[in-house]
Amino acid sequence: MNNSLPRLIDGMVATLRSEIIPHLDGEFARGQAFGVIYMLNNIRLRADWSPAFLGEQLAALVELAVSLGSLGVDTKFIPETAPDSSDPRVLEALRDEGDQRVCALMDWLEQQRAQLSVDTAAALDAALFRYMNRQLKWELSTSAKPMFAEISGGAE
Amino acid sequence: MTPLEQKPPNPLDDEALLRDRLSSYLQAQSGRSWTVGPFTRYAVGFSWITYGFTAREEGSSDERGLILRLGPPYGLFAPYSAHPQYAALKALETSRVPVPRVFWWSDDVAILGAPFFISEKMPGVAPVPWSGSFEAGYRQSIGAQFVSAIAALHACDARNSGIAQNDTTVENAALKQIDFWQEAGARWALKSHPMLHWALRWLRRNQPVAPRVSLVHGDYRLGNFLEQDGRITAILDWELVHVGDPHEDIGWAFLPQFAMGSGLICRLIPRDEFIAQYERESGIKVNPASVHFYLVFSLVKLALTHIAAIRCFEEGRFNDMRMPAMGTQLAPVLRQIEKLLQ
């Protein structure tokens, strides 16, 4: 998920208030909608992104660091072991920092490519692709089935 | 709230005020008074606000159907200028590209609260990629017109279009667009995305030379034209118009997102038929390597559009739930890039 959980909940609540409730007929339906707002506000106070979701992303970064280390690349910028914190904000910050440094590594690789052996450059490319592939597959496997036809058409 | 804290009235938040301001503007432009009817707001796009309305000029018995498009400061790609769209539509009025006639424009936000232009209202509906199915005869006819329109656009003389040329040449057309979108992405991104970074580097290494510098629509696809009784009446949504490599529009139209699993370009026409008709009508030879480059480029552009939606929603500029929903599509787009570059 690319938006923060608090902002998603705030947006859902605002949408219910301004776009949905004014168009609902019936006291019971409106009451149910206010019930959804109330529960969303409760969730906002207690929920956060899953440490298990972020943990897999960090595990992918650790795997990349190990692969790069075996190729003689300085990997101090990427965590070599998973952090012991379970605070999602700490894990999210580590993941984002890791991804930023992976991008910096790509820039370095681009500059150094002429000085590297063909095999080393290919192995570095492969390690980076394995990392990106693992991250993207994990994102896709933890995403709901898209509902764009319903969103644009207003019907199920 | 004290009087000092009161915000000035904003036409973007008040349709009655917008109508008054519009009447005044039309009077100032024509020297006659106008009666402006109620607005119909169209739920299209995430950027420009689109209103349909009728207007009658003093002394005339004809009521004109018009479209007002406004580029709000909170839009997906803000800040906006109305000039490129106005210039493109004006330049194409006498071409074989079906476009609405365009009458007025201004980037002065003091007039209506945002840059705007006013055009003719064209008949028809916009078929969308994700709903319904097309009968074969209809599909083939619309598909052929879809290709004819883009071939006609690319055959136009871009130098006389009034669109900024920005020193674009056949050699630097790709680089200009990579720079434009990468700079925009740097403003929008909330975090780094390694696959996107990789793709941008790949694009820089693999820039093709354009066959010519053409007018490029920038969002040419199913959903961005009007159709009535089997005829395309207007190509819409020119907000990304610029000069560049004509393959750019081909790459965008070829995105799998618009095929919806049909195996057809925009659910309309087989790829080979598209290319053969396009080459015949435009006189431009399609280069497969350029199509591949601009397919990757289009996925990058789509990913960056999703990133813009994520930021727009995160900053609270919109509560429109379509924004974070678009944001969830970033990973599938990056996965498509990965498959193309592996």
Domain total for chain A?
2
- Quick check: B206 and B326 in contact, CB under 8 A? no
Residue-range definition of the domain harbouring residue A136: 51-141
Nearest to A106 among B190, B201, B327 (CB): B201
The verdict on A79 and A137 lying in the same domain is yes
The verdict on A36 and A98 lying in the same domain is no
Residue B186 contacts A where some CB pair is shorter than 8 Å: no
- Domain B136-341 has what CATH class? alpha beta
Residue B257 contacts A where some CB pair is shorter than 8 Å: no
- Quick check: B170 and B211 in contact, CB under 8 A? yes
pLDDT above 60: residue B41: yes
The verdict on A112 and A35 lying in the same domain is no
Nearest to B327 among A2, A100, A147 (CB): A2
- A153 part of a folded domain: no
- Quick check: A68 and A78 in contact, CB under 8 A? yes
| Rg for chain A, CA atoms, rounded | 22
Write out pLDDT tens, residues B194-237: 999 999 999 999 999 999 999 999 999 999 999 999 999 999 99
Report the C-alpha gap between A53 and A128 in whole angstroms.
Answer: 20
Q: Output the pLDDT for position B60.
A: 87
pLDDT above 80: residue B87: yes
Contact call for A146 and B328, based on CB within 8 A: yes
| Å between B60 CA and nearest CA of chain A | 39
Q: Output the pLDDT for position A155.
A: 77
The verdict on A17 and A35 lying in the same domain is yes
The verdict on A41 and A80 lying in the same domain is no
Residue B1's pLDDT band (cuts 50, 70, 90): very low
Q: Output the pLDDT for position A80.
A: 63
Query: Rounded to an integer, what is the distance from CA A44 to the centroid of its chain?
Result: 18
**Percentage of the residues of chain B whose pLDDT score is greater than 70:** 96
**What CATH number is given for B9-120 in this structure?**
3.30.200.20
Residues of chain A short of pLDDT 50, as ranges, are: none
Tell me the residues of chain A between 98 and 127 that have a Cβ less than 8 Å away from chain B: 99-100, 102-103, 106-107, 110
- A9 part of a folded domain: yes
The verdict on A42 and A57 lying in the same domain is no
The verdict on A136 and A97 lying in the same domain is yes
Write out pLDDT tens, residues B169-189: 999 999 999 999 999 999 999
Using a CB-CB cut-off of 8 Å, the residues of chain B touching A129 are 338, 342
pLDDT above 70: residue B125: yes
Q: Which of B249, B229, B247, B228 shows the shortest CA–CA distance to B237?
A: B249
The verdict on A43 and A56 lying in the same domain is no
The verdict on A86 and A39 lying in the same domain is no
Q: How many of the other CB atoms lie within 10 Å of CB of B246?
A: 28
Q: Output the pLDDT for position A82.
A: 66
The verdict on A120 and A80 lying in the same domain is yes
ipTM for this model: 0.93
The verdict on A94 and A65 lying in the same domain is yes
Task: Tell me the two tokens of residue B58.
Answer: 């003093």
Range list for CATH 3.90.1200.10 in chain B: 136-341
Residue B325's Cβ-count burial label (10 Å; 0-12, 13-18, 19+) is middle
Contact call for A137 and B335, based on CB within 8 A: yes
Residue B106 pairs in a beta bridge with: B116
Tell which wins on pLDDT, A146 or B296: B296
Where in B182-334 does DSSP place strands (E)?
214-216, 225-228, 231-235, 242-244
Give chain A's mean pLDDT: 90
| Å between A110 CA and nearest CA of chain B | 8
Write out pLDDT tens, residues B234-269: 999 999 999 999 999 999 999 999 998 899 999 999
Residue B160 contacts A where some CB pair is shorter than 8 Å: no
For residue B260, the SS3 value is coil
